Structure 1
Amino acid sequence: MRVPRLFLPVALEDGATLVLSEERAHYLKTVLRLRVGAELVVFDGSGGECDAEVELLSRAESRLRLGSRRDRSAESPLSLHLGLGISRGDRMDLVIQKAVELGVAAISPLIAERTVVRLDDGRRASRWVHWQRVAQSACEQCHRNRIPHLAEPQPLQQWLDEVRGTRLLLDPAGTHAIGEVTPTAEGIVLLSGPEGGFSPSERAQAEAAGFMRVRFGPRILRAETAAIAALTAAQLLWGDLRS
């Protein structure tokens, strides 16, 4: 029987009792359908996890009793940073979820010329919080104990000026195949566009910032497909999918 996992961004101390927030208690009761005495694994997002038991579930308070803390890593030896043009709704959620499952270390949502989603300050903050929850949920599902870094949404040019690593722009008109790339010790940075892709000027900016344009065969992939395919290919070539 599969043991459920729960992310709690708190210090995990051996034998401690944790009082759950209303949101986490609701998740245990309504989504996981756990009862008093049920066993689960709790992780803190920074590498630690421990077995736990549901001690109390009530309207007034819900508690977990922790066992012994341990460190366990499911991280890839390949550092993967995904710069992701913001897409609409479920498409963005899907890429973030699958990127976490594929071992990405960092995700940067990017605002580009052809970004359909318009984010004012309030909506930008709410989407960022939502995407963080998507990443946390994906870690619960895929047994990662570290939450990948999810940057706040930012303009493409700002990100291009700051990012470091072997830089690859996913481009159906690219002149290189991903298998031709030799990554540096800093890892791989993948840049994937929104619906409609990047504009010619944005592609030129990326090239000026040191990005190599790489292609994925003769077919035009949807934005979400391209990002997931590129992460999979990188892990197969240089990461933990080789073994």
Structure 2
Amino acid sequence: MAAPRIFTPQLPLCGQFSLDGPEVRHAATVLRLGVGDSLMAFDGKGGEALCQILQVDKRSLELLIEERIDTDRELGFQLRAFVSVPKGDRQRVLVDGLSQLGVSHLHPLLTKRSVVKPASSERLQRYAVESAKQCGRNVVMSVGASQTAESLSNTTASNDAPLPSARLVAHPYGESLRVKDWLDGQSQNQETLLREIDFAIGPEGGFTEAEIEQLVNSGWQAVSLGKSILRTEMAALHLAGLIAATFEHR
């Protein structure tokens, strides 16, 4: 049975260290771990270590690093999601699913037709940490500030690496390219390695035509996800999964 995982923002390379905060209560009360038990600690930045519990009290754990592992479970490129968040608990479903699929950054997206206020960045980030604990990622998906469709139109791809970028916006109407056709075209071009892929998902009422026109004119590719009109979180997870499956081994 795999050792349980806990999150610690600071993970030393070796030796002993102390852990406090909510993770202590989870380890001692929920997981019922005690002296001599093993666990996997990860720092959310790529670090991971097998640790043994040396001491347990109500507020802290004393841990000894037995083996530094630092397993890389990332996609190999930056996958950034800009999503108009759904209502209530579906926001947690969205964050959990995107994290499991390897998305590196999530930004709530505000559009003309958005009616749902995103949960606080702190809460969404906690959801991302919990997801990383469950799925085995050692890099926690970053939840950033809300963006608008206009801000996406004014943002160009970063220029800090020699590889190209791609930007997709889900739009089920008009002359949108089928996402499968776009993915097939990219996967057949073995000479093109994308360093980052951005995708945008609008609210359940969709983007306005003016927003789509503005995004397309600024370099975003409109893609259709199929014949059905998907809920916001389903559209985001569907597109993220297709992208990850297509490019993760390149």
Shorter chain as denominator, the TM-score bin is 0.7 to 0.9
Other-structure match for 1:166:
166
- CA apart distance, 1:237: 2.2
Gapped regions of structure 1 (runs ≥ 5)? none
Supply the distance in 2 between the matched residues of 1:41 and 1:238 (Cα, whole angstroms): 28
Q: SS of the residue aligned with 2:23? A: helix
Gapped regions of structure 2 (runs ≥ 5)? 158-164, 187-191
Q: Deviations over 1:200-229 (max 9, x none)?
A: 222222212211111122111111111111
Other-structure match for 1:204:
213
- CA apart distance, 1:32: 2.5
Q: Deviations over 1:144-177 (max 9, x none)?
A: 1112232122333223322523111111115211
- Runs (4 or more) in structure 1 with deviation over 3 Å come to none
Give the letter aligned to residue 121 of structure 2: W
Q: Deviations over 1:67-121 (max 9, x none)?
A: 23232100112431111112222212111111111111221111222222236xx
Supply the distance in 2 between the matched residues of 1:22 and 1:100 (Cα, whole angstroms): 23
Matched ranges for 1:59-70 at <5 A: 59-70=58-69
Q: SS of the residue aligned with 1:162? A: coil
Per mean C-alpha deviation after superposition, the further-off stretch among 230-239 and 134-143 is 230-239
Aligned residue among 153, 157, 160 for 2:146:
153
Which TM-score applies when normalising by structure 2? 0.85
Other-structure match for 1:191:
200
Going from structure 1 to structure 2, the CA distance change for 1:77 and 1:37 (only over 3 Å counts) comes to same
Other-structure match for 1:6:
6
Supply the distance in 2 between the matched residues of 1:163 and 1:37 (Cα, whole angstroms): 52
Q: SS of the residue aligned with 1:3? A: coil
Q: Deviations over 1:12-49 (max 9, x none)?
A: 2312221x223121121233332332211001112111
| Contact 2:11/2:47 (8 A) holds in 1 | no
Give the letter aligned to residue 3 of structure 1: A
Supply the distance in 2 between the matched residues of 1:113 and 1:6 (Cα, whole angstroms): 40
Per mean C-alpha deviation after superposition, the further-off stretch among 204-213 and 181-190 is 181-190
Aligned residue among 132, 139, 150 for 2:132:
139
Other-structure match for 2:95:
96
Going from structure 1 to structure 2, the CA distance change for 1:36 and 1:116 (only over 3 Å counts) comes to farther
Other-structure match for 1:26:
25
| Contact 1:78/1:235 (8 A) holds in 2 | no
- CA apart distance, 1:184: 5.6
Per mean C-alpha deviation after superposition, the further-off stretch among 46-55 and 22-31 is 22-31
Q: SS of the residue aligned with 1:81? A: strand
Supply the distance in 1 between the matched residues of 2:215 and 2:30 (Cα, whole angstroms): 43
Going from structure 1 to structure 2, the CA distance change for 1:163 and 1:85 (only over 3 Å counts) comes to farther
Give the letter aligned to residue 214 of structure 1: V
Matched ranges for 1:66-145 at <5 A: 66-118=65-117, 127-145=120-138
Give the superposed CA RMSD. Answer: 2.1
